[in-house]
């Protein structure tokens, strides 16, 4: 009989089960839905910037599309990188994917932290 290093390991299984228990107790699926709506609504306020072409998301996974022109929706990866770097300077972690700034905060995030994401991204965009 052969197995892999971590397959069926008693400690790993116990930790996995405890994680599932915590996720159920803290109702992470509903939290992701509720806080994701708050995040998406907040990010949509950033559409006032001339370079924000679209904001989209599902649950806590959101993306802000950066464009050179809102009408043509021409991608602007250079501006995306400028905003990415400015966001880092404001203490915000995001992930640039082409011309989209991707956000996927942890399921344990709270309302204040969601609001802080929006505030810091707005400040970063103001500075570019």
Specify the CATH architecture of the domain 27-126: Alpha-Beta Complex (3.90)
pLDDT for 11 equals 87
pLDDT (mean) for 26-48: 96
pLDDT higher than threshold 90 for residue 96: yes
pLDDT higher than threshold 60 for residue 2: no
pTM of the model: 0.85
Q: Are strands 74-75 and 95-97 parallel, antiparallel or unpaired?
A: unpaired
CA 35/CA 10 separation, integer angstroms: 34
pLDDT higher than threshold 90 for residue 7: no
CA 34/CA 88 separation, integer angstroms: 26
Sequence spans of domains, the chain: 27-126
pLDDT in tens, 53-77: 999 999 999 999 999 999 999 999 9
CA 114/CA 60 separation, integer angstroms: 10
Angle, to 10 degrees, between the axis of helix 77-89 and the axis of helix 111-126? 120
């Amino acid at each position: 009989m052969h197995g892999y290093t971590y397959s069926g390991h008693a400690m790993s299984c116990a930790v996995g089960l405890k994680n599932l228990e915590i996720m159920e107790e803290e109702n992470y699926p509903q939290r992701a839905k509720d806080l994701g709506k708050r995040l998406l609504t907040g990010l949509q306020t950033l559409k006032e910037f001339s370079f924000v072409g679209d904001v989209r998301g599902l649950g806590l996974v959101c993306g802000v599309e950066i464009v050179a022109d809102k009408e043509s929706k021409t991608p602007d990866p250079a501006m995306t990188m400028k905003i990415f770097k400015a966001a880092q300077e404001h203490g915000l972690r995001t992930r640039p994917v082409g011309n989209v700034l991707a956000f996927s905060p942890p399921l344990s995030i709270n309302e204040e932290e969601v609001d802080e994401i929006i505030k810091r991204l707005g400040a970063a965009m103001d500075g570019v």
